Structure 1
Amino acid sequence: MARPVVGRDREGQILEAALRSGAHVVLEGPPGTGKSTLLRDVAARRASPFVLVEGNAELTPARLVGHFDPALVLARGYTPDVFVDGPLLEALRAGGLLYVEELNRVPEETLNVLLTVMSEGEIAVPRLGHVKASDGFRLVAAMNPYDAVGTARISGALYDRTCRITMGYQDLASECEIVAQQRPGTPDAWRRAAVGMVRATREHRDLRMGSSVRGALDFVGLTRELAALRGVPDDDWQSGLDAALVALSGRVRLDEGCNRAVEDVVTELYVAAFGPRPTGPDDDPSGGGDPGKR
């Protein structure tokens, strides 16, 4: 198979095999681990229609399934041609992939609709009749099991109808490659230090949740733009620190009982990755150079 997503060959093969076997799939992992990108790539190579649903408390059964157009119902009555398909029926009729993001934010009554479809391969819609799934229809859902705000526990009934693929963070080399692809032109040593710093947020004693590679992308991008605005080198120490604070302070979460400010933790990690602020007369005023040599 062609490389679908950086560092995701194994997961891509497993997902493709599951879909070929007729299984529905749940992708579990923290944000920024490439769940959506992986599925979009698999869908493109399968030439399957791709229908996206954003899971949230507003996703009612009617919004998922579809509805009769009230104005046309008054004029024509409850006929099939006045029914407006929701994403579920769109995917069923087309034999496509229905991708439900944030599955554990979907109301229980809406999840029950999905249970019936996964079990029976069809759905009964009042006044419309039965709609059967065309060949190729699959449900793929994604969720972040580590976020408890606004989420609900997924029932055993749903897990019993799906295969589960867990997706953790990629390794350092893969995340460096992702940043190199999306933020080209950054010196290798500086980029590796930036990615290493972001990865360190996931293991810091004062943080219960660290940042994904998205934090590294914003960190690198912001540093370059700040340096350009200030007329200093791309690896300017102060510009890098300012960028790190902006890019990461909202993404990480302090551990319960930690009395430090999140900015202090980010600054600590930045100094560990890039060294202290240059102060001596012989120091590079930009703080640039190879981070590994400081």
Structure 2
Amino acid sequence: MTSTATPAIGADEIAAFRELHTRLGDAVATALLGKRDVVDLVLVSLFAGGHVLLEDVPGTGKTTLARAVAAALGGVSRRVQLTPDLLPSDLTGAPVYDPQTGQVRFRPGPVFANVLLADELNRASARTQSALLEVMAEGTVTADGVTHAVPAPFLVVATQNPVDLDGTYRLPEAQLDRFALRTALGYPDAPHELDVLRPGSGAGRVSAVPTVTSPQVVADHGRRLAAVHVPEPVLRHLTDLAATTRTDPRLRLGVSTRGLRSLVRCAQVLAATRGRHTVEPGDVRELVDPVLAHRLQLTRQAQLAGVTTTEVLAEAAAALGDR
């Protein structure tokens, strides 16, 4: 009987990916100074086929990050400012009547891009937020019973302001679970902020970002990285960690299976960026908080007591150790 298992990834493929990852990171970093750690994390999500939630105040470079990633991979970038009156079809597109041909054709929305910046996602109504659920999970949009595929790779970089809550809607659990990871850019340090302020420095200008690859190459590498080996003890550790969160009295919602799958995919990419064919426990430890913390939901009592999901995860991981 012929095996259908994914063949192991070769050393030459790992080396080619590392070179591509470095070139992409260097290119994006020309527009986003001093944030290489965040850039690398976003690239991990890109190659893992996931999406990124940026929780940050305005003016820290979120739009620059999304557009720089699209420019570096040679893809299409779209930006949507989410507002309460935005309709689902304003994101996904809709069938429209063409008076010249007398036929109804599908008009693609801004989700038909390689990188979509959904700015202030929590300002959109629940109806509009739900329009992203299918495309973020399946990479397709269904309209009038017809399914349309978005380009590959497809990366949603969504933002929400954690400070200004007026006129916002809480992101539901199903929406949060679609994001592979959550992170923040934060303010730049003083030397890099000075570089941004200097006239003619080029910092922050997406036009200065070189195109170093193509969307097809990135998509191909992402598919091959699924062959990076994940040892059985690492997988068992993850299931134990998830079980611990599901029984923690401070949580009303623990880690989902989708969350574990996202962690595995991101860990495979992270291991490959370090030249390894196998995921190690350290890869998982590094990604636990950005990949899982936003998926947990605290009880009201835990929130009032000042507990954070990061603390709950850290305690669960410490209790389990590396076993």
Instruction: Give the TM-score normalised by the residue count of structure 2.
Output: 0.50
After TM superposition, list the pairs within 5 Å mapping 1:83-162 onto structure 2.
83-88=106-111, 90-91=112-113, 96-126=114-144, 129-162=146-179
Q: Contact conserved, 1:103 with 1:142, CA < 8 A, in 2?
A: yes
What secondary structure sits across from 2:152 in the alignment? Answer: coil
Q: Contact conserved, 2:91 with 2:109, CA < 8 A, in 1?
A: yes
Which of 55, 58, 61 lines up with 2:88 in the alignment? 61
How far apart are residue 123 of structure 1 and its match?
A: 2.2
Q: What's 2:102 paired with?
A: 76
RMSD (Å), alpha carbons: 2.2
How far apart are residue 62 of structure 1 and its match?
A: 1.7
Q: What's 2:65 paired with?
A: 38
What secondary structure sits across from 1:67 in the alignment? Answer: strand
- Structure with max Cα Rg: 1
How far apart are residue 183 of structure 1 and its match?
A: 8.7
Separation (CA, whole Å) in 2 of partners of 1:71 and 1:77: 5
- How many residues align? The count is 174
Separation (CA, whole Å) in 2 of partners of 1:44 and 1:62: 26
Instruction: Give the TM-score normalised by the residue count of structure 1.
Output: 0.55
Higher relative contact order (CA 8 A, sep 6+): 2
Q: What's 1:286 paired with?
A: none
Separation (CA, whole Å) in 2 of partners of 1:98 and 1:38: 11
Which of 179, 186, 191 lines up with 1:173 in the alignment? 191
What secondary structure sits across from 1:87 in the alignment? Answer: coil
Separation (CA, whole Å) in 2 of partners of 1:165 and 1:17: 12
The percent of aligned pairs where both chains have the same amino acid is 32
Q: Contact conserved, 2:57 with 2:161, CA < 8 A, in 1?
A: yes
Separation (CA, whole Å) in 1 of partners of 2:50 and 2:108: 24
Moved over 6 A (4+): none
Q: Over residues 150-189 of structure 1, what are the superposed CA-to-partner deviations in whole Å (9 max), with x where a residue is unaligned?
A: 21111221221101112211122221221124699xxxxx
Stretches of structure 1 that go unaligned for 5 or more consecutive residues are 185-294
Separation (CA, whole Å) in 2 of partners of 1:24 and 1:39: 11
Q: Contact conserved, 1:8 with 1:38, CA < 8 A, in 2?
A: no
